[in-house]
Amino acid sequence: MRKTFQFKLYQSKKNQVLHDQIDLSAEIYNHCVALHKRYYKMFGKSLNTYQLQKYLTKLKKQEKYQHWNLLGSQAIQDITDRIDRAYQAFYTNVKDRKTGKIKRFVAPPSFKKRGKYKSFTLKQAGYRLLEGNRIKIGKQVFKFSKSRAILGLIKTLTVKRDPLGEIYLYFSSELPDPKAPNTQVKNSVGMDFGLKTFLTLSNGEKIESPQFFKKGLNAIRKANKNFSSKKKGSNHRKQAKINLARAHKKIGNQRKDFHFKLAKKLTDSFDVIIHEDLHIKAMQQLWGRKISDLGFSDFVKIISY
């Protein structure tokens, strides 16, 4: 069983090293996407991941690409793996649409702006956990808010930044599969999602929809208006962008808190919980941002976990 532990990195000037590495990951990612497109144009088939990794190793020896060595080799391998998984998903989607299994379109990997590229991943090398709440990534030592112990065997470390510029560490660990409890089902419940009421349970209980985005819409509009009025490239525009991202993050945190508390309440109260199948994309087409505000799919993932 895989489990992910998330921790926030303390603010420090040294964090700029990680921001630079994420920006470097974006540069390498875009270069790999360009190579894929060029290879397909020349030979009419996709580029093999092994060939791409071998070619990148040669590139790093050239003076023009010497700065690529600032990023760990495993992080670069993960970039090529990400692109390969995205292409495989695209090819599978093309086959499914031809056979009529699915109508949804999945696009192939495309270029990404540095500011929108979020993370890089290290596997067994490139980092080392130290005593207490310290971690060594590359040659730098960082401190993070270690709110709980990291269990199991760590498989990967993902360094990720959010729109506010804050950096988080995600440790993906391998844990033993939990043994199924040997208990009888005493009580069960079915739940039906709605727009006016978030959930209607089969026992008649109704849980109202909090609609956090609707409540915070005025703050979003104000921050958005402030952002659009600033001159492009100015420091005021950068600060306004952060304020807008902070307003969105607050709503996201409120929604997540509501989902986790409700899921905990339901799983403590019932042995079996049954929910309807949801077609989120179709629901979004009908009711728009209201569906995104409710976050049904996120809630189902949390309660299933």
Could you report the per-residue pLDDT of 129-145, keeping only the tens digit for each? 999 999 999 899 999 99
How many CA atoms within 13 Å lie on the side-chain side of 208?
Answer: 3
Structure tokens at 122: 């290290």
From CA 176, how far away is CA 285, in angstroms rounded?
41
pLDDT at site 187: 85
Nearest to 116 by CA among 158, 160, 74: 160
From CA 271, how far away is CA 183, in angstroms rounded?
9
Using 50, 70 and 90 to split pLDDT, how confident is the model at 83?
Answer: very high
pLDDT at 99 over 80: yes
pLDDT at 68 over 90: yes
Please list, residue by residue across 250-265, b when 16 or more beta carbons sit within 10 angstroms of its beta carbon and e when fewer do.
ebeeebeebbeebbee
What is the rounded average pLDDT of the residues 81-95?
92
Across the chain, what does the average pLDDT equal?
A: 89
Structure tokens at 20: 């630079």
pLDDT at 292 over 90: no
CB within 8 Å of 279: residues ≥ 6 apart: none
Kindly report which listed range (39-48, 141-150, 174-183) carries the lowest average pLDDT score. Answer: 174-183
* Span 257-288, pLDDT tens digits: 999 999 999 999 888 888 877 665 666 666 66
Kindly report which listed range (5-14, 103-112, 240-249) carries the lowest average pLDDT score. Answer: 103-112
pLDDT at site 57: 93
Q: Percent of the chain having pLDDT more than 90?
A: 61
pLDDT at site 287: 60
pLDDT at site 286: 61
pTM: 0.85
CA dihedral 248, 252, 255, 258 (to 10 degrees): -130
Kindly report which listed range (155-159, 188-192, 244-248) carries the lowest average pLDDT score. Answer: 188-192
From CA 271, how far away is CA 188, in angstroms rounded?
6
Nearest to 165 by CA among 13, 6, 4, 5: 13
* Residue pointed to by tokens 């402030």: 226
pLDDT at 240 over 90: yes
* Span 173-219, pLDDT tens digits: 999 887 766 667 788 888 888 777 888 888 888 888 888 888 898 99
pLDDT at site 209: 83
Q: Percent of the chain having pLDDT more than 70?
A: 95
> Are the beta carbons of 114 and 31 closer than 8 angstroms?
no
